[in-house]
Amino acid sequence: MSALLELRGVSHAYDSRQVLTNLSFCVAKGAVGCLLGASGCGKTTVLRCIAGFEPVTAGEILLSGEVMSRAGLTTPPEKRRIGMVFQDYALFPHLTVARNIAFGLHHMTEVERAARVAELLATVGLDQVKNRYPHELSGGQQQRVALARALAPRPDLMLLDEPFSNLDVEMRERLSLEVRDILKQQNTTAVLVTHDQHEAFNIADEIGIMAGGSIEQWDTPYKLYHEPGSRFVADFIGQGVFLPGTVLNGNRIRVEPGILQGHAAHEWPQGSVVDVLLRPDDILHDDASPLQAQVLHKAFRGAEFLYTLQLPGGGRVLSLVPSHHNHAIGEKIGIRIEIDHLVAFPRHGKN
């Protein structure tokens, strides 16, 4: 599909402080992209540049193939057909739910406006509260009103800036899935900014991992988890540990528990010393396995325990184990390694 949004080598600075450097990505029409990173990495600044609130000092931002921003040119926000949803909802307290949604529809006839509001009330599941005011709604309901209001004028692109950060964990999980369904139902292209991996994985088709004003990797959630392109991405996404290893051939590496074999995204020369990434789901509990590991720590997660295990040679790994296997600290359990994606990086301190 053709790109609705494209950033080409975008840079931005506040006075002498460089915030974004040579940043590039694109989002296809109807897709949901996400910028994921820690606070201060520049992800909200990217949204502000896309929206036209900030100029770029280098590179270009294009919408539907038309340049919106480049050095010396910034098309005003109102000319970009962009909708925005913020973390603080920004609803009008003196307007009802229905009137909040209708706020940006002055160009429509009264009949058209009423039809669009009714459609969106049904889409976001708020038709029963259309005459209430924002202070009479829950946080999740307020955020759905904000989303409906932003969708009402049928923007070409929707920008969502940490939209669920004010909600509790359970509501964030549920609402993030609902928002993805709504965006897909409306065929709306969107870019989400968040620091929450679960939120990003729930909503986005593709995710850019940001650090220091640049994108480390732009990829699908599956590839970011199973085929991280850098050690930073491997550390940032999910949980895992690194074990030292020696490359035997392209897809076989010897580590303390034995020889690992799997699909390798990178071919390492034979004899290379590397660090191999092992995720908790790579380490399976198996009472019949001759490989024994000692339980050092455990974290109860309802359906599962996350065990920290010490291998016979001193190395440590993490393992997700069904919670009916409740083992004591210090106890030894059988484990085996099942790994499909062999992810390795140069050993720290080695070239």
Residue 58 clears pLDDT 90, i.e. is over it: yes
Question: Is a pLDDT exceeding 80 seen at residue 350?
Answer: no
Angstrom distance (rounded) from CA 182 to CA 146:
13
Pairing of strands 304-310, 292-300: antiparallel
Residue span of the structural domain in which 57 resides:
3-234
Judge if 139 and 22 occupy the same domain: yes
Per-residue pLDDT of 295-327, as tens digits, reads 999 999 999 999 999 999 999 999 999 999 999
The answer to whether 175 touches 164, Cβ cutoff 8 Å, is yes
The predicted-structure confidence for 10-24, as pLDDT tens digits, reads as follows: 999 988 899 999 999
Considering the chain, what percentage of its residues have pLDDT values greater than 70?
Answer: 99
Co-location of 45 and 187 in the same domain: yes
Answer whether residue 332 shows pLDDT above 80. yes
Q: Do residues 265 and 184 both lie within one domain?
A: no
Tell me, yes or no, whether 351 lies in a domain: no
Residue 351 pLDDT level (bands cut at 50, 70, 90): very low
Pair of tokens at residue 255? 């580590």
My answer on whether 125 and 224 are in the same domain is yes
- H-run or E-run covering 33: strand 32-36
CB 80 within 8 A of CB 48: no
Measure the CA–CA gap between 236 and 86, rounded to whole angstroms: 25
153 & 192 share domain: yes
- Whether pLDDT at 207 is above 80: yes
Asked if residue 122 is part of any domain, the answer here is: yes
* Residue 250 and residue 186 in one domain: no
**pTM score:** 0.90
In the chain, the number of structural domains is 2
Is 294 domain-assigned?
yes
| pLDDT level of residue 174 (50, 70, 90 thresholds) | confident
Are residue 150 and residue 219 in the same domain, yes or no? yes
Q: What is the CATH number of the domain that holds 66?
A: 3.40.50.300
Q: Is the pLDDT reported for residue 265 higher than 80? A: no
How far apart CA 250 and CA 264 sit, in angstroms, is: 7
45-54, 59-68, 74-83, 337-346: the lowest-pLDDT one: 337-346
Supply the mean pLDDT for the chain: 92
